[in-house]
Amino acid sequence: MIKKIVLMLIGLCCFSSLHASDFGVSLASAVVSDDLDHGYRAAITYQPKAFVWSHYSVYFDAGFSHWWIDKKCEGQSVNIFSVAPYFRYFLVRSTKVSPYIEASIGLSYIDKTQMGKRNQGIHFTFQDQLGIGLAYGAEQRFFTTFSALHYSNCRLSAHNSGITVPLLLTIGYRF
């Protein structure tokens, strides 16, 4: 499944126009996880040109995540739909590689409030993410980010187990 998605991303990169558009895609996978065994996150990104400055940029992300503890057991997985703004600060801007840090707090909906022994309490959660990465390639279309990801209802419910992915690898492309 992951291989097919990566091949699709490569194909889209090869057939896109010469000028980067406002839209892109990203695919992420857990590298290290305390709470979960496996999972992935796919997103469509939107970065208006008006929100790009010399060292800062803001883009928006609409994502779908699927995380699981054990695929063999019922109730051990969760699907999450999210929307979030991302604030990216470029440490150095160059034509080849530009390192950055980024942060995001967005809204998310989880399809189950119970996953294994974890009780989220309600379907509404916040998605927090903090990461470092590199933008590279023609017009900085490609990006790779290592980040920490956390879902929490921020104590809007008596139950708030939260879901944490301490190290997430994201690869993305702007069309």
Percent of residues, the chain, with pLDDT higher than 90: 64
Determine the pLDDT at residue 74. Answer: 63
Q: Find the length of the chain.
A: 175
Is pLDDT above 50 for 16?
no
Of 29-43, 44-58, 84-98, give the lowest mean pLDDT range: 29-43
Among 136, 105, 144, residue whose Cα is nearest residue 26: 144
pTM listed for this prediction:
0.85
Q: In this predicted structure, what is the pLDDT of residue 35?
A: 60
How many other CB atoms sit within 10 Å of the CB of residue 85?
Answer: 14
Residue 118 has a pLDDT of 81
Strand segments (E) across the chain: 23-32, 38-46, 56-68, 77-90, 97-110, 114-115, 118-119, 124-136, 142-152, 163-174
Asked whether residue 1 carries a pLDDT value surpassing 80, the answer given is no
Q: Which CATH number fits domain 2-174: 1.10.375.10, 2.40.40.20, 3.30.110.30, 2.40.160.20?
A: 2.40.160.20
Domain boundary assignment for the chain: 2-174
The tokens describing 38, both together, are 């496996």
